[in-house]
A and B are shown apart, each in its own frame.
Chain A
Amino acid sequence: MKHSVSRRQMLATLGGLLAGLASLAAARTARGAVKKVLVTTKAPRGYDPHQHKWLMCFDVDKCIGCGLCVDACKTENHVPAGPMYFRTWIERYIIKKPEPGSGKTRGEVLVDSPNGGRDGFPPTTVPREEILKAFFVPKLCNLCEASPCTQVCPVGATFDAPDGAVLVDPNYCIGCGFCIQACPYGCRFLNPETRVAEKCTLCYHRITRGLKPACVEICPTEARIFGDLKHPVENDPIQAFIQKHRVHTLKPHLGTEPRVLYANLDKEVR
């Protein structure tokens, strides 16, 4: 069998390949367009993630540790009931007085979070006279600008949305748990029912409808403040909060650049 390819044949093959490539791209665009029309989600229309940049702030002094936010979050997002599964939770810090003459500014630091604070906090066993100070710290996804959890995902199932939310695509998550280990704030867990990683979505189904996240809606003391940096409203609570308080983030040395800001945060909080 003799093989000889003429210049004409080679050019025709190359041209055909190029045309095929071009038509594939066009077909893909068309498929996307058709899918957009045919696949109907109940998602609210007209929400453009590029037009928003969400931010969450906490005033630690205002948190009274009632745990209503934890309960609301579980109800709103159908989070599994077990004591290990939380999208948001509250920690109680009790800092004891230092031993007299020990030369320290503070004694032992006790941190507890029974059932994430969902049922409130029982009275502490530490006698009042031994407590130097005590406070509650609400926690959730820190909305990192440089999120470690999205960097480690081997299948690209978790991502930073343009509006600042860090979301998980449950259809593509393989449940490997890398992101759970990568999150320095412990904000992710593996859902035992769906076997995919889950985390705070900022109640994405609520904020896209113009509602506040459930925890913010339910917080009785306005310890949680939620807002949009791209659309400040009149007397914007976020702007007022940042203006009024000296704000801090959790673990700033990690370079994750969280967009969850805390006012009146203590050095012991990690």
Chain B
Amino acid sequence: MPPQIFRLVLLTLAIIVSYIIARYLLTPASFGQYGFYRAEALAEAATPEPVFAGRKACLECHEDIQEKLLKGEHKTIGCESCHGVGREHAQNPDVKLGKIGDSGCLRCHEDNGARPAWIKVIVVKDHYRGDKCAGCHVPHQPNEVP
């Protein structure tokens, strides 16, 4: 074999081998398990702890309130929709949830020009303002009047 061919073969082999070594070192271990990406990224995306506790966690203690809620029009509303994040409270009942002001009600029930017809809305300046919302309405049983 002529020497220049031999050198070319050696060079080609060296390039191929260095490519294979580089590829081996640079490819993440879980690459290709699910597709053309690092499969571990899925597990990493699932790693953070959830913030909102979820309705089931509330029901462990507050089933009575759920029963009331299911009778009225607020039955579709999750606890944390109004009461805010309840994870800490669910783990330690001594941690109290924040108070809900009138703004909590108005977020859904103030007329803003685009609400669907089925939801009851008020125009704040035309509505009775002698008391807080909860003075006349029962949030857990909106159909009832106290």
Binding site for B on A (CB under 8 A): 1, 3-5, 13, 17, 20-21, 24, 27-28, 31-32, 35-36, 39, 41-44, 47, 49, 61-68, 72, 75-76, 92-94, 120-124, 126, 128, 131, 134-136, 156-157, 159-162, 165, 167, 169-172, 201, 203-206, 208-209, 211-212, 214, 217-222
Cβ contact within 8 Å between A214 and B81: no
- Is A123 within 8 A of B49, CB to CB? no
- Name the one of A123, A172, A206 contacting B110, with C-beta atoms under 8 angstroms: A123
Please name all residues of chain A whose beta carbon is closer than 8 Å to the beta carbon of B118 when the two chains form the complex: 61
Q: What 0/1 pattern do residues 2 to 35 of B give for CB contact below 8 A with A?
A: 0100100000010001001100100101100011
Which residue of the partner chain A has the closest CB to B45?
A: A204
Partner of B52, one of A1, A20, A208, A218: A218
With A4-B1, A68-B107 already in contact, the answer to whether A49 and B113 are too (CB < 8 A) is no
Contact residues in A for B1 (Cβ distance below 8 Å) = 3-5
Interface contact A43-B107, CB-CB below 8 Å: no
Whether A220 touches B108, Cβ cut-off 8 Å, given contacts A5-B1, A65-B114, A126-B113, is yes
| A47 in contact with B115 given A218-B52, A218-B81 (CB within 8 Å) | no
Cα-based distance from A254 to B116 in the complex (angstroms): 30
CA–CA, A72 and B38, complex, Å:
29
- Whether B113 lies near A159 (C-beta < 8 A) is no
Given contacts A159-B37, A167-B45, A212-B54, contact A135 B81 (CB under 8 A): no
B47 interface residue (CB < 8 Å to A): yes
Contact partners of B81 in chain A: CB under 8 A:
68, 218-220
Interface digits, B97-115 against A, CB 8 Å rule (1 contact, 0 not)? Answer: 0000000001110111111
Q: Which residues of B contact A208 (CB under 8 A)?
A: 46
Given A76-B50, A204-B42, A218-B78, A162 and B35 contact (CB-CB distance below 8 Å): yes
Which chain A residues lie closer than 8 Å to B38 at the CB level? Answer: 169, 171-172
Residues of chain A within 8 A of B37, CB atoms compared? 156-157, 159, 169
| Residue B44 CB within 8 A of the other chain | yes
CA A209 – CA B50 in complex, angstroms?
9
How many of chain B's residues have a CB under 8 angstroms from any CB in A? Answer: 52
User: Which of chain A's residues has its CB closest to B3's CB?
Assistant: A3
What is B's interface to A at a CB cutoff of 8 Å?
Answer: 1, 3, 6, 13, 17, 20-21, 24, 27, 29-30, 34-38, 40-52, 54-55, 74, 76-78, 80-82, 85, 106-108, 110-116, 118-119, 123
CA distance A43 to B17 in the complex (A): 37
Q: Bound complex: CA of A2 vs CA of B43, how far in Å?
A: 58
Q: List 8 A-B contacts (CB under 8 A).
A: A3-B3, A13-B13, A41-B43, A75-B51, A159-B35, A167-B41, A201-B45, A218-B81
B51 neighbours in A (Cβ, 8 Å): 75-76, 214
Residues of B within 8 A of A220 (CB): 74, 76-78, 81-82, 108
Q: Which of B30, B37, B74, B77 has the most CB of A within 10 A?
A: B37
Known contacts: A32-B29, A167-B41, A169-B37. The answer to whether A61 contacts B116 by CB under 8 A is yes
Q: Which chain A positions have C-beta within 8 A of B76?
A: 220-222
Task: Give Cα A122–Cα B111 distance, bound, in whole angstroms.
Answer: 9
Q: Which residues of B contact A61 (CB under 8 A)?
A: 116, 118
Cross-chain contact of B114 among A62, A136, A161 (Cβ < 8 A): A136
A66–B141 CA distance with the chains assembled, in angstroms: 20
Neighbour of A159 across the interface among B21, B36, B43, B54, CB < 8 A: B36
Q: Which residue of B lies closest to A25 (CB)?
A: B24
Known: A64-B119, A162-B34, A218-B78. A122 touches B112 (CB 8 A): yes
